[in-house]
A = this chain, B = another copy of it.
Amino acid sequence: MQNPLKTIFPNFSNELIATIEDNGSQQSFEAGTILMRTGQYIKNTVLILKGKIKIYREGEDGGEFLMYYLQPGQACAISMICTAKSEKSQIMAKVVEDVTVMMIPLQLMDKWMMEHRSWYEFVIETYRSRFEEVLEVVDNIAFRSMDERLEFYLKRHSDACGCSEVKLSHQEIATELNTSREVVSRLLKKMEQRGLVKLNRNQIELLK
């Protein structure tokens, strides 16, 4: 059987893989676990091997405004960025599907950046793609109305899971878009009337 790390991070060099295995610590967390809180100091960089982590911004009222999801083969850009100076986190990270991660002590970050080309490229690409994703989020809330944002949100979800069924309650969607359940219900009903989705309990099927 091939090295699982190599399978998940195919671009990493063999030396880097070996170094990660020597220095990282593999850990698992159950869905619901909060891995990072706003204001907390960050001590590790996290590579996702399995499962799904939600990165969000917490509102005073308990809103969980979705920034993006982390999936296998990805890493937390925030933890990489803050790492250099052990800065405070500005976001929340919550496990949404049981995860296995590789924790890497932050002081190794800088070292590896110099020593491993494939690590350097991975970090830069992680920054870039997350920055872009966040810009897109800004676009949505700045320029789009709730119905468009909802459509975009559903598409993102179905893209992420690779299927056309989104298994979420209206309340969960409302929380992540920072609106109310009633609004989500109303808009989804309209979308159903337009033939865009089919609604079931705890499940929304995208038709187009």
Chain A residues with a Cβ under 8 A of chain B: 57, 59-60, 63, 65, 67, 77-78, 81-82, 84, 87, 90-91, 110, 113-114, 120-121, 124-125, 127-128, 130-132, 134-139, 141-143, 178
A-B contact pairs, 17 of them (CB 8 A): A57-B138, A57-B139, A59-B143, A60-B143, A67-B138, A78-B131, A81-B124, A84-B121, A84-B128, A90-B136, A113-B113, A113-B120, A127-B127, A130-B131, A131-B131, A138-B138, A141-B142
Residue pair B128, A82 in contact (C-beta under 8 Å): yes
List 11 extra interface pairs beyond A67-B135, A84-B125, CB under 8 A: A65-B143, A81-B124, A81-B128, A84-B128, A114-B114, A127-B127, A131-B134, A138-B138, A138-B141, A141-B141, A143-B178
Copies in the complex: 2
Chain B residues with CB under 8 A of A136: 90
Chain B residues with CB under 8 A of A128: 81-82, 84, 87
Residue pair B135, A91 in contact (C-beta under 8 Å): yes
Chain B residues with CB under 8 A of A114: 114
Given A143-B60, A143-B178, are A65 and B138 also a contact pair (CB < 8 Å)? yes
Chain B residues with CB under 8 A of A91: 135
Which B-chain residue is minimally distant from A128 (CB atoms)? B81
A63 vs chain B, min Cβ distance (A): 7
Given A84-B124, A128-B82, A142-B141, are A135 and B90 also a contact pair (CB < 8 Å)? yes
